[in-house]
Structure 1
């Protein structure tokens, strides 16, 4: 047993671990997440989990797809919860693998509640949140003392029946906004933010498919977002940062190593 593997407790049969897989690069998994994959009997994973991460599952583990993608046929959340419960009751060591952090727009809270109500024991393994990691690797800090003392994390995809986000109210906070799952709603979000007083010239940074070989970066202004989205220039999955923090990248870019090169060095 390696020194790192001893840091993680064993997954007991009949339990579920809700595990964050980070933004995509296997190197950004936590030690607990990697060790959980090496122990699991069944890995129930989301759509955005890359092959490099899934390849860390132990030989013989069953990989079950439970992806949810906006506008595409997706697993029903109730069915996912029932499947986790059934697997645990069958005595399996279950890893529910979710992109980023399971408790940041990952529906991990819903699954934890379902497991608790069913009497299933579970463990939470936090992950590197995709929204913050996608920015950090490109020299965009979530906060700096010179730009902001708060940051808003928001999703552009509200649950059905939950009501919409008051974007104008968020604009009035003056805090930078980091958007998850917002590609299809960017035109209405931009309109709401401008209505709330955010300048049309506010800088925006978009990171598509962060940490993957398909990664793309777009720098624009808030006023340009709707046209870029409607023209298909911004593809999902993407993290969108709106506000003063998006300007910091320019000051760092000359000396910042490209992420993919740094990761393979």
Structure 2
């Protein structure tokens, strides 16, 4: 592919959201339609690639857990190579480019090589995927803060107890260790946990448990990535959670429906 231009091209790091094509921003979608080259991750809105002009070059650099066929330094080099050729490059990412997406590394590499780069925010899976199961990461009187982490190294230093929501991204392989570590702290083994697989996707599924039980339940059900793990009292606010259902079955007065029903069927 060649594009004849007298000036250097551009790079846009576009956050595509959690995967549903309707959750990309208007600006992100427009830039995707205008692109000459799209360098795409695995967890972005892949169905939008099928709608691109046939002349658009699509380069798949998707990663699987433990398998990165295109190393990060090669991705960086691709961005610069095509922009230097005068092309409009879109780096299509899942979620938000600056939330555990290496967007900062890619932007810095482009700028250090004289390439204009702009970051288009996206809907991060850390917040949107719990919402797909009706779980708010904060809720008045239940949790007023949250922390997003990818590994268990920082878990002992996290603030609060079950009233401070913990969101584990890319945390399935280390789930048993993470749950045990959190259970040893102020949250305790009874702290509610939810795992949402394939949020907003066709195979969305929710598994509920506690810090003491979630690893075993996940193994029994064959939980797989991509998934977001939610730890904290906010889990019980999901309309899918047994405690929520029990409250609805009782005659206890409620102040009104605060949590919307999930937009897709989820299995609990």
Partner residue of 1:142 out of 137, 148, 151: 137
Q: CA deviation at 1:93?
A: 0.4
TM-score (norm 1): 0.85
Identify the residue that residue 158 of structure 2 maps to in structure 1: 170
CA contact (8 A) 2:193 2:232 kept: yes
Partner residue of 1:260 out of 260, 264, 268: 264
Q: CA deviation at 1:41?
A: 0.4
Q: CA deviation at 1:227?
A: 1.6
- Give the RMSD, CA atoms, in angstroms: 2.2
Residue ranges of structure 2 left out of the alignment (5+ in a row): 1-6, 249-256
Q: Whole-Å Cα distance in 2 between the matches of residues 24 and 51 of structure 1? A: 7
Q: Deviations over 1:164-203 (max 9, x none)?
A: 6221221656511011111101111112112223211111
CA contact (8 A) 2:208 2:214 kept: no
TM-score (norm 2): 0.84
Q: Whole-Å Cα distance in 2 between the matches of residues 75 and 172 of structure 1? A: 39
Identify the residue that residue 88 of structure 1 maps to in structure 2: 83
CA contact (8 A) 1:137 1:259 kept: yes
CA contact (8 A) 1:171 1:197 kept: no
Residue ranges of structure 1 left out of the alignment (5+ in a row): 1-11, 157-163
Q: Whole-Å Cα distance in 1 between the matches of residues 73 and 39 of structure 2? A: 14
Indicate the structure (1 or 2) with the bigger Cα radius of gyration. 2
After the TM superposition, which of the residue ranges 20-29 and 173-182 deviates more from structure 2?
173-182
**Residue 122, structure 1, aligned to residue 117, structure 2:** yes
Larger helix share, 1 or 2: 1
Q: Number of matched residues?
A: 243
Partner residue of 1:202 out of 178, 191, 198: 191
Q: Whole-Å Cα distance in 1 between the matches of residues 185 and 48 of structure 2? A: 41
Identify the residue that residue 25 of structure 2 maps to in structure 1: 30
Identify the residue that residue 215 of structure 1 maps to in structure 2: 204
CA contact (8 A) 1:39 1:58 kept: no
> What SS does the aligned partner of 1:207 have?
strand
Identify the residue that residue 225 of structure 1 maps to in structure 2: 214
